[in-house]
Structure 1
Amino acid sequence: MKSRIIALVAIMVMAFTGSAFAGSLQVKGSTTVLPLMQKCAETFMAANPSVSISISGGGSSNGAKALIDGTTDIAMMSRDMKAAEIQTATDNGRKPEQFIVALDCIVPVVNPANSVSALTIAQLKDIYTGKVSNWKELGGADEPIVVISRDTSSGTYDCWKDKIMHSGGDKSRVFPGALLQASNGAVAQAVSKNKKAIGYVGLAYLNKELKGVSVNGVEPSVKTAKDKTYPIARGLNLYTPGTPSGEAKALIDYMMSPAGQKQAAEVGFIPVTK
C-alpha cells in the first residue's frame, strides 16, 4: 500500500512539473525549514530520479551566506533576508528572489513535568534577560530556570529577538547564562531531558516529550498563526539567486502546489495556499 501511495504522489509531481528533470541542486540554511524541504525533496526526487538534491541546515544566516557566496541554489530561511545581505548578494550578481512556502509559530517549550503552561511576552523577556531565574516566580516549583536559546546565526533566534527581546521598545539581549543550541532539534532534546529547562522551537518540532506554552493567553496552532492572534508567528522562506529556472523552479513550484502545501501541513507548518 505504501509503495502505491508513493508511486501515485510521484505521478502527481511529474504531472505538475510537466516533465522530468536531470541535474543536481544544493539547498542550505534554516533548520526550521529543513523537515519540509526534506519531505518535499524526497517526493520530487521520486518523480525525477535523475535529479539529486543535497540539503543541509546550519541556520538561516548560513543560508544567506551560501546564497551570497554562490554555494547554494536555494537558501532556506526562517526570517527575511536583511537589507545588507540582499545588497551584498545583488552586488555579487545574485539578486535574491523570495518565496514564502509556509507559516510557522515559534513556541516556548518546557519539560512535561513542569507545571507552568502559560507565560506572557513580558515574562518570557524577563526569563531570557535573567531577571526571573526561579520557576516559583512564575507559579511553578522552587527550582532554578535553565534557559536554552538558539545561536545568533538562527532565523528562529532573530524572530525571538525581534518579538520577545525587543518588545516594549528596548533592545534587550539574551543573558550570558543561557545555553545556546545550534538547531530546533537540539533545543527540543535539551528541554525534553531537563525538567527545569525552557526553550523555543518551531511548531513542527513539538512532540510528546515537550510541552508547548501559551503566550499572552493564546495557544500556538495553525489557526492562531493564520488569524494572527498568536504573537510569535512568522513566514518560512526560500530564496534563490535571481529568478529560478530548471530544477530549482520545479521544486519550488511543487512546494507551492496543493500537494506540496499538504506536505507542509503534514510536517506541522501552516500552508500559505489552499
Structure 2
Amino acid sequence: MRLFRCAALAAALLSLPVAPARAQDVTLSSRDGSVEISGTLIGFDGEFYRVDTIYGPLTLDGQGVICTGPGCPGIEAHVARFRLSGTPVLGEVLMPALIETYADQHGLSVTRDRDGPGLRFVLSDRAAGHPVAEIDLSLVSTEEGFADLLAETADIVMAAREPRPDEIRRLREAGFGDLSDPARRRVVALDAIVPVVAPGHPVQEIAIDAMIGILTGQITDWSELGGPDAPLTVHLLDRQDGLQQAIALRLLDGASPTPAARRHSGAAALSAAVAADPLGVGLTRVSALGDAQQVPLTGGCGLRLVANRQSVKTEDYPFVAPLFLYTTARRQQLFAREFLDWLDTAPAQLVIRRAGFVDQLRDTIPFGRQGDRLGLAIAQAGPEVTLSDLQRLVAALAGAQRLSTTFRFREGGSAELDAQSFGNIGALARALEAGVFDGRTLIFAGFTDGDGPAEANLGIARLRAEAVHDAVRAVATAADLSRVALRVEAFGEALPIACDNSAWGGFINRRVEVWLR
C-alpha cells in the first residue's frame, strides 16, 4: 500500500500529453483492492490515467489500477495523437514513408490528408476498422519546430541541426528538460553537406580552405581555383534553413557568408539552379544532388574527400549532417514510443536508404581497402611514427574488417562524442546483446591527430578507445560477453585520413574505429 501511494505521488509529477476526454467520475483501484482514488477523469492516453482528485491532479499507470465508474474509457477506443513539426527535409518524404511502412508491418491501414501546410495520417485497425493513431506533420523549419515545441503545439521536432544554446535554455526553463542531453535526440538518417557545380565543369576538386573562401566572398573568380577566367556565382540556402544554419556554424565559425550569394528555399532547388549555371557553385545535401555534380574536397596530401554511403557512415567525410528527432523529458504516448523504437530496425533503415538518405545499418570494410590511408601513413612516417609503429598496426588489423561504426568527437579537441557517435554506442550494444559478434573479436582502435608529441597522442588514443569500449559494455547489459572478445588498441597518429595542417584534417583524424576479426 505504501509503495502504491509513493508510485502515485511520483507519477503525479509527470506531465503527459493526453487526448481530450469528457470529464466524468471514475474510481481507480489498486489490483489488490487496498487503495482507491476517486476523482474526475482529465484524460487517458492509452497507458496512463490523469485524474483530478482532492489531492490535486494525479497520473496513474493503467496497468496497475482497475477503473470503474461512468467516466472509464475503453482502452480499445483510445486514439493516440501526436504531432511532429520541423524541417521539410524529414517531413515531406521520409517521415511519411516511415509512417506508412510502420503501419503496414503492424496490420494498420493509413489515410493521408492535407492539413493546411502539413500532413495528417490516420492509422486504423484493419480488422476492427477503428482508428488507433493520428499523426500530424507540420512542415515548417527546424527553428519553427523548436518554437512549436516550446508553444506545446508539437510533441516531437524534426531537426536538420542540433538546438542552439538559446533554444536549449528556453525549453529547459519552460520545464521541457535539457535538449542537449543525448537521451532527448534520435538520429533518424544521415546526410552530408557537399559542394556542387554544373555537370562537366572544368574544376574537379576544391580544397576545404578554398571552399570557405568562396562562401565568405574572399574567392570570387574561377581562375583562383584553376578554372576559367570568369566570376563565380555562389548559391546558398535560405538563412532559416537548418542545413544553412549548420553550414554557418560548422564551416564559417561565425563569419558571414557573402551577401552576393543567391538564396534558395531548399536543397533540391539549389541543386537545380547550380546544374543550370555553368559559373555556379553551391553547398547542398548529398541526398538532393539532382542533376548537379558533387565536387570532391581535398584535405591535403593528395587525398580527395567524397561523400558516399561508406564515408558518411564512418564520418571519414568531414561534413556529415545528421537528421534528428527531438523529444522532451515529458513521457511520450505508448504508440509514439513504439514507433520511435521501430526506427532503429532493419526495415526502417531500408526505407531510409530508398528515400535517398544514408541509413545506419552496419557495413564492413576489408583491410585490403585501406590502401590510400596506408599509403599516406607510410609517406608521413618519420621520427615520431616509425616503421615499427606501422608494422604493429598492420599486425593487429590485417585480416580484420573495419565496421562502418566509428566514434568521433566534437570539434575543438573535445573528448565528448558527437551526436552520430552517441547513437553508435546503443547500436553496437544492441548487436552485442543479440549475439551478432559471438565467437569473434571486436577491436576498439584509437587514433589521434598529429598535434603534440607522438607518445602523448598514443596515450590519448588509448584513453578514448577505452572510454568507448567501457561505454558500450555499460549499455550492453543483456549481452553475454563471455561469447565475444573485446580488445582495445591504440595507434595514435599512425593512420591519418587527411593532413593535420589542412582545414578539418585534425578533426577527422581523431576517432575510435571498430574492427572485427
Fold-level similarity (TM above 0.5): yes
1:191 is matched with which residue?
Answer: 274
Deviations 1:41-72 (A, max 9, x none): 23235533333433243322122111122121
Give, in whole Å, the separation in 2 of the partners of 1:151 and 1:20.
44
Q: Secondary structure at the match of 1:55?
A: strand
Structure 1 residues 92 and 160, CA gap change in structure 2 (3 angstroms) = same
1:92 is matched with which residue?
Answer: 174
The structure with the greater share of residues assigned to helix is 1
Larger Rg: 2
Contact 2:80 2:333 in 1 (8 A): no
**Deviation at 1:37?**
1.6
Which stretch shows the higher mean deviation, 249-258 or 213-222? 249-258
Q: Secondary structure at the match of 1:256?
A: coil
Give, in whole Å, the separation in 2 of the partners of 1:258 and 1:72.
27
**Deviation at 1:235?**
2.2
**Deviation at 1:107?**
1.3
**Deviation at 1:122?**
0.8
Which stretch shows the higher mean deviation, 72-81 or 95-104? 95-104
Contact 2:141 2:242 in 1 (8 A): yes
Contact 1:22 1:247 in 2 (8 A): no
Structure 1 residues 265 and 127, CA gap change in structure 2 (3 angstroms) = same
Question: For 1:33-112, what aligned pairs fall within 5 Å after superposition?
Answer: 33-34=90-91, 35-46=93-104, 47=108, 48-49=123-124, 50=131, 51-95=133-177, 96=179, 97-112=184-199
Pick the aligned partner of 2:245 from 158, 176, 179.
158
Contact 1:31 1:58 in 2 (8 A): yes
Structure 1 residues 255 and 267, CA gap change in structure 2 (3 angstroms) = same
Q: Secondary structure at the match of 1:161?
A: helix
The reply to whether residue 25 of structure 1 matches residue 112 of structure 2 is no
Contact 1:59 1:182 in 2 (8 A): no
> Which sections of structure 2, spanning at least 5 residues, go unmatched?
1-75, 109-122, 125-130, 299-303, 363-517
Deviations 1:85-126 (A, max 9, x none): 122112223234211122221111112142223112111111
Give, in whole Å, the separation in 1 of the partners of 2:246 and 2:295.
17
Q: Secondary structure at the match of 2:192?
A: strand
Give, in whole Å, the separation in 2 of the partners of 1:119 and 1:215.
5
Q: Secondary structure at the match of 1:224?
A: helix
Q: Indicate the RMSD between aligned Cα atoms, in angstroms.
A: 2.3
Contact 1:258 1:273 in 2 (8 A): yes
Return the structure number with greater relative CO, CA threshold 8 A, min gap 6.
1
Give, in whole Å, the separation in 2 of the partners of 1:240 and 1:250.
14
Which stretch shows the higher mean deviation, 45-54 or 117-126? 45-54
Question: For 1:227-242, what aligned pairs fall within 5 Å after superposition?
Answer: 227-242=314-329
**Deviation at 1:223?**
0.8
Pick the aligned partner of 1:130 from 214, 217, 232.
217
1:206 is matched with which residue?
Answer: 289
Structure 1 residues 104 and 131, CA gap change in structure 2 (3 angstroms) = same
Pick the aligned partner of 2:306 from 219, 222, 239.
219
Count matched residues: 251
Q: Which residue identity lines up with residue 100 of structure 2 in the other structure?
A: E
The reply to whether residue 118 of structure 1 matches residue 205 of structure 2 is yes
Q: Secondary structure at the match of 1:238?
A: strand
2:233 is matched with which residue?
Answer: 146
Deviations 1:160-179 (A, max 9, x none): 1233212xxxx321011112
2:348 is matched with which residue?
Answer: 260
Q: Which residue identity lines up with residue 173 of structure 1 in the other structure?
A: S
Contact 1:26 1:72 in 2 (8 A): yes
> Which sections of structure 1, spanning at least 5 residues, go unmatched?
1-18
Give, in whole Å, the separation in 1 of the partners of 2:185 and 2:297.
29
Structure 1 length normalisation: TM-score? 0.82
The structure with the greater share of residues assigned to strand is 2
Pick the aligned partner of 1:271 from 359, 366, 372.
359
Q: Which residue identity lines up with residue 284 of structure 2 in the other structure?
A: V
Deviations 1:199-238 (A, max 9, x none): 222221123x110111222111111112222111132210
Give, in whole Å, the separation in 2 of the partners of 1:36 and 1:99.
15
Structure 1 residues 88 and 258, CA gap change in structure 2 (3 angstroms) = same
Structure 1 residues 20 and 152, CA gap change in structure 2 (3 angstroms) = farther
**Deviation at 1:273?**
4.5
Give, in whole Å, the separation in 1 of the partners of 2:273 and 2:157.
27
Q: Secondary structure at the match of 2:209?
A: helix
Structure 2 length normalisation: TM-score? 0.45
Give, in whole Å, the separation in 1 of the partners of 2:308 and 2:77.
37
